[in-house]
Amino acid sequence: MSTAEVMDHPGDTSLLQSCGTADSLASLEDATAESTANESSEEESACARTEQSNTKAQQSMHTESGATPRPDSLSLPAKGTELWTTHRDGEVKLRMGESGPEAEPSLTVNQMFTSTVQRFGNYNALGWKDGEQWKTMTYNEYYKSCRTAAKSFLKLGLERYHGVGILGFNSVEWFIADIGAILAGGFAVGIYTTNSPEACQYVAENCQANILVVENHKQLQKILQVMRVKDLSRTFSKYTQIRLFLLRHCMFQGSLANTLREIRPTAFMGVPRVWEKMQEKMKSIGAKSSTVRQKVASWAKDVGLQTNLNKMDLNGSLSRKPLNYRLAKRLVFRKVRKALGLDRCTRCYTGAAPITKDTLEFFLSLDIPLFELYGMSESSGPHTISLPDAFRLTSCGKVISGCKTKIFNPDADGNGEICFWGRHVFMGYLNMPDKTEEALDADGWLHSGDLGKHDQDDFLFITGRIKELIITAGGENIPPVPIEDAVKEAVPLISNAMLIGDKRKFLSMLLTVKCQVNNETGTPEDELTPEAVELCRKLGSNSTRVSEIASGRDRVVYAAIQEGINRVNEKATSNAQRIQKWTVLEKDFSIPGGELGPTMKLKRPVVMKMCKDQIENIYKEVLTPTTPDNPLPPK
């Protein structure tokens, strides 16, 4: 479920009309200089706004009638509804409880931030690398910078409940602009750097942004394409001296590996693609090791997997770890953790997209359990979490304290839509009452759109997504993800797999093979990864590029892929769930290419549109059953 959708707009609508005058397009440094003389008055103004906001929030917590109608409100909840709103100055009734976290007094972002500063003022809050030098910022310095940003935004004309659009990568300035916007009484609105100019325009118009903060000239040009600016003597804030990257977008090829080894985090969160890339790299290195090293590593992984599975079954209460585990830890596990930069890491998390059981077991065998999280932007982040003493393979864990999970309309196997309840549930979609009513029911439950079930110990397992469910021409409902994961596990050469078959007579699949990724642009290249080249060699193929494999050019590789798919088909619960045909595409999916979202989730409608011709060709051809006697799909 997305928090916003790009929609068509009238051609005569300009971003400038929504965002205010060109005077707002000024740098923070210029604004800071101009606002110094008025520091006291601006500070009082910001504080007054914040306190007024706090008072209104506390009042709304106790109100029985929900949001108060306003003449300028864009939309209002239906009669009797108190738990959602879609206008920017709206109020909602908090989902309070009688005890525990549900009963905790409400806090604003400003209150929590200032409380943290008071407690940990001299502690480091942020750290970044400027060239070869590491720099840090204490909470006191962080707070001061955020207040400076807030006063600058006010000076530039930020109105209450209006947005500050932030268009850039992860950096110190991003955080400062984010908190600064909130302290000033506005909205902090992050905009993906991969957004098109039109998508940026939609976000800015929807939140009625007065100010846009951009990272560099490239991002600035996007904005200039959709707005009219009379005076560019003062432009957007451009933070180019300190540029950090989002770890979730960096593959295990140099940058992420070096960063982890240098930082040595105590906790690390990576989307599945990050862990998969680590796995590929480690397997590639292991294949080049001596026979003795490979045997020792294999023995240690067997010990590690069995020990950690036993520990998992006992909910982390393994009283004494066996001698062979302790020996494996000394000989292998500690060295692996140090090589990865995870020697100090006590919690390794994964989330935002499905992760395969193969990857989970691989890291578990190396004594690096990956704890899955599950949540949505609409739930302010995690709703369920896995912990060292409470996790199961392929499970997203248990609901966090103070929240509730409900399986809506479950089938005979217990599968149904996952619904959330708690104080972490969002207020609603800005200016989108219809979408909000779809997401939040009359009782305030957030409908995730995901399918899942609980096991006997109340662990949550995601089984699919309602919108992704394939309904064949024969009327059979088929969740695609389990089949796609099975193919990727059966054929290690495969990077991405997408099942096709909605309203079709049989299932087919689009496949991509593992290739190198440009570290600067994130775009897939034609050259295969070292692991993929090694796999081809073992099959008897000399292919080193995607173009040498795609569209049936390498029959040796195609035969190996078909063998893997045959193994998957043998485990299918019905004939309708068998993959009858498939093809390998000319390039892998990526964020810049549009096939993957910012968290590496597959954008199925986009791929369907981009690969329309390939899909139609699959279903135009005469069907040849895929069996061991017919190893190749028809050309």
CB 240 within 8 A of CB 172: no
**What are the distances in angstroms from CA 556 to CA 313, 470, 473, 550, 584?**
42, 31, 33, 12, 13
Cα 265 to chain centroid, rounded: 20
What is the rounded distance in angstroms from the CA atom of residue 351 to the CA atom of residue 374? 6
pLDDT at 252 over 80: no
Instruction: Give phi and psi for 395, each to the nearest 5.
Output: -95, 150
Highest mean pLDDT among 70-84, 131-145, 283-297, 592-606: 131-145
What is the rounded distance in angstroms from the CA atom of residue 530 to the CA atom of residue 536? 10
Q: Of 579, 394, 558, 552, which is closest to residue 484 (Cα–Cα)?
A: 579
Predicted pLDDT of residue 419 = 97
- Take residue 69 and report the two structure tokens written for it: 């109608």
446 contact partners, CB below 8 Å, separation of at least 6: 376, 378, 379, 419, 420, 421, 425, 426, 439, 440
Domain 15-62+107-224 bears CATH identifier 3.40.50.980? yes
Angle formed by the axes of helices 555-570 and 480-490, nearest 10°: 130
Give tens-digit pLDDT for 70-115.
333 334 444 445 889 999 999 999 998 888 888 999 999 999 999 9
Please count the CA atoms within 13 angstroms of the CA of 258 that sit on its side-chain side: 6
Predicted pLDDT of residue 48 = 44
Q: How many residues does the chain have?
A: 635
CB 504 within 8 A of CB 473: yes
Q: Of 114, 200, 210, which is closest to residue 162 (Cα–Cα)?
A: 210
What is the rounded distance in angstroms from the CA atom of residue 208 to the CA atom of residue 266? 39
Query: What pTM did the predictor assign?
Result: 0.74
11 contact partners, CB below 8 Å, separation of at least 6: none
Residue 536 has a CB neighbour count (10 Å cut-off) of 22
Give tens-digit pLDDT for 440-458.
998 899 999 999 999 999 9
Coil/strand/helix, residue 83: coil
Q: Of 346, 324, 349, which is closest to residue 337 (Cα–Cα)?
A: 346
Predicted pLDDT of residue 554 = 93
Average pLDDT, stretch 337-356? 93
Average pLDDT, stretch 212-235? 73
pLDDT at 623 over 90: no
Strand segments, DSSP code E, in 388-522 are: 398-399, 404-408, 416-421, 446-454, 460-465, 470-471, 477-478, 494-500, 507-513, 515-517
Please count the CA atoms within 13 angstroms of the CA of 147 that sit on its side-chain side: 19
In 107-171, which ranges are continuous DSSP H helix? 109-120, 139-155
Predicted pLDDT of residue 43 = 44
pLDDT at 69 over 60: no
What is the rounded distance in angstroms from the CA atom of residue 245 to the CA atom of residue 241? 13
Which residue would you say has higher pLDDT here, 383 or 71? Answer: 383
178 contact partners, CB below 8 Å, separation of at least 6: 166, 188, 190
pLDDT at 166 over 80: yes
Predicted pLDDT of residue 13 = 33
Cα 483 to chain centroid, rounded: 22
Domain range list for the chain: 15-62+107-224, 248-368, 470-620
pLDDT above 90 as % of the chain: 60
> Could you tell me which CATH number the domain at 470-620 has?
3.30.300.30
Average pLDDT, stretch 162-179? 94
Predicted pLDDT of residue 258 = 85
Predicted pLDDT of residue 206 = 93
In 440-479, which ranges are continuous DSSP H helix? none
Predicted pLDDT of residue 228 = 56
Q: Place 20 in a pLDDT band, splitting at 50, 70 and 90.
A: very low
420 CB-contact burial (10 Å; exposed 0-12 / middle 13-18 / buried 19+): buried
Same fold yes or no, 15-62+107-224 and 470-620: no
The three-point CA angle 336-342-345 to 5° equals 135
The pairing of beta strand 347-350 with beta strand 370-376: parallel
pLDDT at 632 over 70: no
Mean of the per-residue pLDDT values for the chain? 82
Coil/strand/helix, residue 475: coil
- 269's enclosing H/E stretch is strand 267-270
Average pLDDT, stretch 306-316? 88
The pairing of beta strand 477-478 with beta strand 470-471: antiparallel
